[in-house]
Amino acid sequence: MKQQKFALFSSEFLAYALLACMTLLSQYFVYIGLSPSFVGILMALPSLNALWANQFYFLLAYKFGLKRVVLYSATVGIVSMWILFASKRVFMIFFFCFLLMLSQGGLVPLLESSLVELASRTKLSYGRIRLFGTFGYAVASYLVANLVNEGFVALFIVYSVLFFLIASVLRRSKLEMDFHQKPSLRVIDKRFSVLFAIVTVAVGFNLFNSVFLPVLVKSKNFHAASVGLSFTLMALSETPFLLFAERIVKRFGSFRLLSSAIFVVGLRLVIASFATTETQLLLIQLLHGWTYIVIYYATLFLMRQKLSAHVLEATQILFWISLQGIGPLLGSTVGGVVVEKVGAELAYLTFGIIAMSLVIFSWAVEKIWFRRGEGT
């Protein structure tokens, strides 16, 4: 049992460490002299892939099994990243960046779905498991940030080691996905389609803060280093909720948590627009601990509470499309247009007010579509 717990916690740690490396690729692209617009296109690939690749990965796992899919993904990822590192032409960089991000794109959805399923069967706390994902992201960010001072090859070495380790850990674990039938979006519960529309917009507004925080910092003439410190605090701020997630969800219910988290997404944007010092801005970013992770956890808990097994499997695919694809695309693309038109501070204020108003729609969805059933 101890060996299996190690596999669970370490696979979550490694999956989110890989996400950190993916995010840090933007620094490498800037370093080699790519234009900001092209860097933006490359970093939008994970969101674009999520629009279709999540269903593709779930179908692969259904046919070949989780371990084999992760092994193949890790192999393609390692090969792609080193060809990317050696590439000088724009087309080659784009193509192998696409392959790298595609190979990595399905790992978190597949692992999260299997870990939640296993946690519910074995009475383990999923919140504690997910906490290791937060630690993995923070550790990888800190490690690579220090190593790249000696050269960006360090990023690719760490990236490769993480891919190798996650494939090795999963190969020796008992982690698998049990499908009741072939995953299909046709059997999705329509109530959750409505709920996911609200979740998608909320996640988009939340990501807007991460993407355009450097612009806000620059507009306020704060030190550039405050951006990196903000991201570190944001990652660590999820810890308190994850330590007591099960108790909190059972105490307050999924919809109350979801509505409160959506409100805090907007609140952070509004008060960030009024920040006059770097200290204020850093303290405001601690609100991140009651935004994305609470939305994610409350929605996941609600799905497992309300849906039968085969409907849950299909609905999870749409959930990940909303979470990784549509939401982030809305936040970065629409956000970029608005920031360019009205400036960062007014964009933060406007989006914050809109986000807080989403709570009204969340309440309406609960009353109209989820009125029946206990514990919500």
User: Tens digit of pLDDT for each residue in 32-50?
Assistant: 888 766 777 787 788 787 7
Mean pLDDT of 146-161: 86
Domain annotation covers residue 339: yes
Same domain, yes or no: 147 and 285 = no
pLDDT at 353: 95
- Give the pLDDT band (50/70/90) at residue 374: very low
Residue 140 confidence (pLDDT) above 50: yes
Same domain, yes or no: 95 and 70 = yes
pLDDT at 79: 95
Among positive and negative, which fits the CA dihedral 238, 240, 243, 244?
Answer: negative
Distances 287 to 78, 143, 235, 281, 369 between C-alpha atoms, Å? 36, 25, 11, 11, 29
* Domain of residue 35, CATH code: 1.20.1250.20
- Give the pLDDT band (50/70/90) at residue 269: very high
Mean pLDDT of 302-312: 75
Residues 351, 208: Cα–Cα separation, whole Å: 9
Same domain, yes or no: 144 and 206 = no
Q: What percent of the chain has pLDDT over 90?
A: 22
Residue by residue, DSSP assigns 103-171 as: HHHTHHHHHHHHHHHHHHHHT--HHHHHHHHHHHHHHHHHHHHHHGGG-THHHHHHHHHHHHHHHHHHH
Same domain, yes or no: 132 and 240 = no
User: Tens digit of pLDDT for each residue in 328-360?
Assistant: 788 877 887 888 788 889 999 999 999 999 999
CB 209 within 8 A of CB 269: yes
Structure tokens at 323: 């979470």
CB 205 within 8 A of CB 265: yes
Residues 254, 3: Cα–Cα separation, whole Å: 32
Same domain, yes or no: 100 and 155 = yes
Among positive and negative, which fits the CA dihedral 327, 333, 334, 335?
Answer: positive
Same domain, yes or no: 142 and 200 = no
Same domain, yes or no: 314 and 351 = yes
Residue 18 confidence (pLDDT) above 70: yes
User: Tens digit of pLDDT for each residue in 165-204?
Assistant: 988 888 777 666 555 555 555 666 677 878 888 999 999 8
How many domains, the chain? 2
User: Tens digit of pLDDT for each residue in 214-233?
Assistant: 788 888 888 766 776 787 78
Question: What SS3 state is found at 90?
Answer: helix
CB 366 within 8 A of CB 376: yes
Residue 375 confidence (pLDDT) above 50: no
